[in-house]
Amino acid sequence: MTLATRPNRSVLYIPGSKERALEKARNLPVDAIIFDLEDAVAVDEKARARVLLAQTLKSGGYGTRVKLVRVNGFDTEWGRDDVAAFIGADIDGVLLPKVNSATDVQQLADAIPDVAIWAMMETSLGILNAVEIAAHPRVAGLVLGTNDLAKELTCRVRADREPLLTALQTCLLAARAYGIVCIDGVYNSFRDEEGLRIECEQGCDMGFDGKTLIHPAQVAVANQAFAPSQGEVELARLQIEAFEKAKSAGQGVAVVNGRIVENLHIVTALATLAKADAISAMED
């Protein structure tokens, strides 16, 4: 299973400086973890967090979860030391904050070999350059930083996220054009389960692979929202069965529940079943 096909429904930020949180994360039902050395770590804790996280990851215990390390940017005094500490480490990727262009990605690629690069999309320039960032051969995923983006745009924070939709869809288009993962931004009110559910459903409807989370209490909602429902799985199976029967009869289309089913619908149906199977295998 590749990074692009593994489920990424729930992507939880864990501060690299919090030993208890790092330990607890080994048993959380998350698909992916962002071990954060950037925003979640105070300035005077940066160096200690780097050492603690490197030691923690070396000891293992995170199972099949996708393991990403968010380093500090190269425009800070900690960025290059962060990257150097994880060369050869058992991680699935390095997440670079505030990526503005493919040049930023290449700078990281030159500093660390043989590991996937994920890009935080949280600046106006980064959104405008989403295509060239997604096209970089080392980039495996885009992660929306909606808080920083809203701050830079000076837009209002609304439940429908309408002021951010252009940026969200631009990143999705770029990610899909190059076959990489795209993860939605965080929902800040971690005690508001219903609000989180609505925003997760919006993100899933748009096409995001999953959602970044700031608290373990958000995991169950994201896992449910970004997983194929039982109805979707059943429909996918019906479409595949009907289409195969139609092909056997020399026909190019089938009909399921009064709707035309063509080859393009079968591609989606197969992807739905593959995702459901991957989730089931992870949970087992």
pLDDT tens digit string along 63-93? 999 999 999 999 999 999 999 999 999 999 9
Q: What is the pLDDT of residues 179-235, one digit of tens each?
A: 999 999 999 999 999 999 999 999 999 999 999 999 999 999 999 999 999 999 999
Question: CA-to-CA distance for 284 and 276, rounded, in angstroms?
Answer: 12
pLDDT at residue 152, as a whole number: 95
pLDDT at residue 1, as a whole number: 55
- Cβ of 190: how many Cβ atoms within 10 Å? 15
Q: What is the pLDDT of residues 108-158, one digit of tens each?
A: 999 999 999 999 999 999 999 999 999 999 999 999 999 999 999 999 999
Backbone angles phi, psi at 205, to 5 degrees: -60, -40
pLDDT at residue 283, as a whole number: 81
Task: For the chain, give percent helix, strand, coil, nearest 5.
Answer: 50, 15, 35
Question: CA-to-CA distance for 45 and 210, rounded, in angstroms?
Answer: 30
The stretch 6-11 carries a mean pLDDT of 96
Tokens 């709707």: give the residue: 259
Question: CA-to-CA distance for 5 and 105, rounded, in angstroms?
Answer: 22
- Nearest 10 degrees: CA dihedral of 17, 19, 24, 27? 90
Strand partners for 212: 11
Strand partners for 139: 117
Percent of the chain with pLDDT over 70: 98
CB of 42 within 8 A of CB of 131? Answer: no
pLDDT at residue 66, as a whole number: 97
Q: What is the pLDDT of residues 212-227, one digit of tens each?
A: 999 999 999 999 999 9
Kindly tell me if the per-residue pLDDT of 4 is higher than 80.
no
Cα separation values, 280 from 182, 184, 236, Å: 21, 23, 16
Backbone angles phi, psi at 27, to 5 degrees: -115, 10
CB of 100 within 8 A of CB of 50? Answer: no
pLDDT at residue 113, as a whole number: 94
CB of 73 within 8 A of CB of 98? Answer: yes
